Amino acid sequence: MPTEQTLFGGNGRKDDLSYEGVRVLDPTEGIDETLDLTVEAGVITKIEPGLGGDGRIVAPAFVDPHVHLRTPGREDEEDIASGTKAAAAGGYCAILAMPNTEPAVDSAAVLGALVERAKDEAEIPVGFFAAISKGQDGAELTEMVELAERGAAGFTDDGRPVASPGLLRRALQYHAVTGRRIAVHCEEAALSRGGHVHEGLVSAELGFGGYPSVAESVMVGRDLMLAAYENQPIHVLHLSARESVDELRSARSAGVKASGEVTPHHLCLTDEAVRSLDPNVKMNPPLRAEEDRQALLDALKDGTIEAIATDHAPHARHEKDVPFEEAPFGVTGLETAFSVLYTRLVEPGTLSLAALIDRMSAGPARIYGLERPRIAVGAPANLVVLDLERTWRVEESGFRSRSPNSWLLGQTLKGKVVETVANGKLVHSA
């Protein structure tokens, strides 16, 4: 049987901490009141009625189920230390790293080496996805049982679709043994080929090769049908199109064990943003139309989409410092996710703070079977302290991440993560 442990590193020190008269908000535990919290040796030991309140909020820390740590192979863009420090600054107590590295995480040897590095270098606990196919080339299945035994947090060929329905079917069949979630990047390459931005009014006007919504939704539909047929759970990565949301919603209502995630940029931006021709709004899947953004928001609110994932994708400066059409896909997000979602969605009243916290914390933890960060006596301290009144300017010099490709550079955001406690250790204080 596979090991239970899928998060590694970030251990070590266990802190004693106390928070007096703070608003404690744990939507899943049903807590929203002013309390005194005590953490001893990294464990929550006391929760008592408190007085006053200085405006700070203590909530369960966040879990990011979709991060590119670029390790091994592109440590110039990100490594385990810098990526987990960035995550700590963003309020995360755990992150899951994607396997599209150089080499890909497709063998026990590569995974084992990462786990060892994480134990030394990770600021917060980190889990590693393993690839579905060797080299992520879509041909041969990886040794999924062994990878699960070595602690793979899930399986995905993210960055690429699993083109062959036969191969995905096999992976789903092995889920019955591994119990580790299969996560799919849904893209029909025959439809997205040559596409740089969403196929729509903006691409028609600007002349970009279009990446149509149907390139995503046709694969979401196919993959959900396979999961239904095999009666195994499946997770759909970075949803972007309203048709994909419809597919997920109807599959869930038909009883398919399907989950989905959405990124902060797909919740905040539309393809209108690409008129700037700023390579930092180029990502895969692309920013889509306002109707798509609204559908994603609705699905996030009603729980069809359970998780917010940054798809933090660091790129070296020189690789993004090129004409839009030449630039690689991907933007960073770990250090800005909470603040931008608070500023753009919670503050204007579009989304409740409780829902945001749930989708950034309990939601992703549930999908991947991770221990849910929670505020309860006896629970390990996985806490985030939020100052909702604090405004700050996103600047390259402030990033812990090694790569500056944020779409928010120069913008002022409201709401800041001022403290993060991950697995009992204070990992960030601002």
Residue with tokens 């020189």: 318
Q: Tell me how far, at minimum, the Cβ of 282 lies from another protein, in Å.
A: 9
Please choose, from the candidates 227, 4, 8, the residue with its C-alpha nearest in 3D space to the C-alpha of residue 97.
8
Rounded distance between C-alpha atoms, residue 347 and residue 62, angstroms: 19
For another protein, the binding residue among 1, 4, 205, 255 (CB under 8 A) is 205
Per CB under 8 A, does 200 bind another protein?
Answer: yes
Q: Tell me how far, at minimum, the Cβ of 146 lies from another protein, in Å.
A: 38
Across 161-177, b (16+ Cβ under 10 Å) vs e yields bbbeeebbbbbbebbee
| Neighbour count for residue 321 (Cβ, 10 Å) | 13
Per CB under 8 A, does 201 bind another protein?
Answer: yes
Q: Which residues contact 166 (CB under 8 A, 6 or more apart)?
A: none
For another protein, the binding residue among 189, 254, 322, 376 (CB under 8 A) is 322
Sheet holding 307-308, edge to edge: 62-67, 92-97, 126-130, 154-156, 182-184, 234-236, 258-262, 307-308
Per CB under 8 A, does 326 bind another protein?
Answer: yes
Per CB under 8 A, does 284 bind another protein?
Answer: no
Residue number with CB closer to another protein (96 or 327): 327
- Answer whether 271's CB lies under 8 Å from 286's CB: yes
Per CB under 8 A, does 194 bind another protein?
Answer: yes
Q: What is the largest CA-CA distance in the chain?
A: 61
Stretch touching another protein by CB under 8 A, among 37-45, 201-209, 353-361, 374-382: 201-209
C-alpha distance from residue 236 to each of 244, 301, 312, 377 (Å)? 9, 17, 16, 34
Partners of 260 in the beta sheet? 236
Per CB under 8 A, does 330 bind another protein?
Answer: no
For another protein, the binding residue among 90, 279, 330, 415 (CB under 8 A) is 279
Q: Tell me how far, at minimum, the Cβ of 322 lies from another protein, in Å.
A: 6
Per CB under 8 A, does 321 bind another protein?
Answer: yes
Residue number with CB closer to another protein (142 or 280): 280
Per CB under 8 A, does 189 bind another protein?
Answer: no
Q: Is residue 311 flagged as an active site residue?
A: yes
On the CB side of 68, CA atoms within 13 Å amount to 26
Q: How far is CA 54 from the centre of its chain?
A: 30
Q: Which among 311, 321, 358, 387 is annotated as catalytic?
A: 311
Per CB under 8 A, does 399 bind another protein?
Answer: no
Burial class (CB in 10 A: 0-12, 13-18, 19+), 245: buried
Per CB under 8 A, does 424 bind another protein?
Answer: no
Structure tokens at 191: 């439809």
- Answer whether 15's CB lies under 8 Å from 421's CB: yes
* Kind plus residue range of the DSSP H or E element containing 184: strand 182-184
Q: Tell me how far, at minimum, the Cβ of 195 lies from another protein, in Å.
A: 10
Burial class (CB in 10 A: 0-12, 13-18, 19+), 9: buried
Per CB under 8 A, does 410 bind another protein?
Answer: no
Rounded distance between C-alpha atoms, residue 251 and residue 40, angstroms: 44
Per CB under 8 A, does 393 bind another protein?
Answer: no
* Kind plus residue range of the DSSP H or E element containing 260: strand 258-262
Residues in contact with another protein, total (CB under 8 A)?
A: 25
Residue number with CB closer to another protein (175 or 288): 288
Residue type, 100: N
Per CB under 8 A, does 76 bind another protein?
Answer: no
For another protein, the binding residue among 277, 376, 377, 430 (CB under 8 A) is 277
For another protein, the binding residue among 43, 141, 167, 206 (CB under 8 A) is 206
Question: 33 to 62, contacts with another protein by CB under 8 A?
Answer: none
For another protein, the binding residue among 208, 211, 342, 407 (CB under 8 A) is 208
Q: Tell me how far, at minimum, the Cβ of 280 lies from another protein, in Å.
A: 12
Stretch touching another protein by CB under 8 A, among 14-22, 24-32, 101-109, 322-330: 322-330
- Answer whether 288's CB lies under 8 Å from 241's CB: yes
Question: 291 to 320, contacts with another protein by CB under 8 A?
Answer: 318
Residue number with CB closer to another protein (161 or 212): 212
Residue number with CB closer to another protein (155 or 324): 324
140 phi and psi angles, rounded to 5 deg: -115, 140
For another protein, the binding residue among 166, 323, 348, 410 (CB under 8 A) is 323
Active site members: 311
**Can you give the binding site for another protein, defined by CB under 8 A?**
193-194, 196, 199-201, 203-210, 212, 277, 279, 318, 321-327
